Homo-oligomer: A and B are copies of this chain.
Amino acid sequence: MNNFTFYSPTYFAFGKGQEVNAGKYIKRFGGSKVLLHYGGGSVVRSGLLDRVCQALDADQIPYVKLGGVKPNPRSGLVYEGIDVCRKEGVDFILAIGGGSAIDSAKAIAMGVCYDGDFWDFYCGKAAPKAALPVGTILTIAAAGSEGSGDSVITLEDGMLKRGAGSEHIRPKFSILNPELTQTLPAYQTAAGATDICAHVCERYFTNTKEVEITDRLCEAVLQTMIKETPRVIADPNNYDARANIMWAGMVAHNNIVGVGRDQDWNSHGIEHELSALYDVAHGAGLAVVMPNWMEYVMDHDINRFCQFATRVFHLDMDFANPRNTAMAGINAFRRWLRSIGMPLTFAELGAKAEDIPKLVETFGIGDGETGGFVHLNKDDITNIYELCSRETIPGL
């Protein structure tokens, strides 16, 4: 096990009706004037935004509103949010929505406290030294941004999708009410579930030996997702299944399941090019990329993929030919993804094989390589996209 630090000081309020306490938590964590940041659509239609505004009014907390966050949130709105916060003297940002609203709020929070261009934090030019405090009211179980110090933004100039990470942007509080996710369409629900599984898998496939506790915790989250996701696809109003998924989504990404071990994250990088270019759901892109990444790298450590197959999918171990078990585990994952309505190929996602050179170019490693479970160069990235572009998948 590697040395590590773990610090997850977010206050989580979980369950029915918790959003009425937003004002109480804003005050507890020092907010006196708030930016409400959200997308639009269901947050407005469902009456959630109005309920939150009423709660803040009752607590006499002034606020300004900035809606319009899009999936794969854009830099343009971040710049606008930074201006609004400065002009209005905002000292707390409350994101209402899913990972996009939260990630956009985090970007604004860092940008307000920085003299330069906020994009510096996303292109690696600078590290944030401060940020406005952020709270969240989560409406989609997926990104895990409600408990993480991460944010992903797409720069409109060039459609570059990049991530930033800092302890300064861990939310001060996050309100998780599973009821708020019940109106989410099946496809978005499944894409969110896929993202949660991917957050675990990026940590699970590691070269660090002797990490039984985090192995087991990773498997616990995956087993939960495998059981609960089909239940909410079958019955969107299943509160308990929604609740299990929502908490699993936080556990999957605040790093409690990932400490002390090297992690991978290449599937996320490879997917980011797809959602940036085609504006597809991040989770749907991951459903295509991740199993193909697995297939491409499995020979690096067949035993780890056998552990995945036997412990997560409860497949029998083929001791005569472990590779068969490893491959069966990957295909079991694919079958599960298909069962919840996720795409498995470029064609099903709406991506095109002829774009592969462009995707590899934007991935941007040039002649270098990207680290992780297996180091990949641009030829490897090309090969993985090629696997994604197959029309049929052998054995499925």
User: Which residues from chain A sit less than 8 Å from chain B, CB to CB?
Assistant: 1-18, 178, 209-214, 216-217, 219-221, 223-224, 227-228, 240-241, 243-244, 247-248, 251, 256, 259-260
Contact = CB atoms under 8 A, between A and B. Distances in A.
Nearest to A173: B7
Nearest to A4: B14
Contacts of A15: 1-4, 260
Given A240-B1, A248-B213, A14 B6 contact: yes
Contacts of A260: 14-15, 243, 247
A256 B259 CA distance: 15
A107 to B, nearest CB: 24
Contacts of A228: 212-213
A12 B7 contact: yes
Contacts of A248: 213
Given A3-B18, A18-B3, A251-B256, A213 B12 contact: no
Nearest to A223: B216
A8 B8 contact: yes
Given A1-B240, A220-B220, A256-B256, A213 B11 contact: no
A244 B260 CA distance: 10
B1 A5 contact: no
Contacts of A18: 3
A69 to B, nearest CB: 26
Nearest to A211: B244
Given A212-B228, A243-B210, A5 B16 contact: no
Nearest to A17: B3
Given A14-B259, A14-B260, A256-B251, A213 B3 contact: no
B220 A219 contact: yes
Given A13-B5, A15-B4, A220 B210 contact: no
A215 B227 CA distance: 12
A1 B210 contact: no
B7 A244 contact: no
Contact of A3 (B16, B209, B212, B217): B16
A167 to B, nearest CB: 10
Contacts of A251: 213, 217, 256
A213 B224 contact: yes
Contacts of A1: 15, 178, 240, 243-244, 247
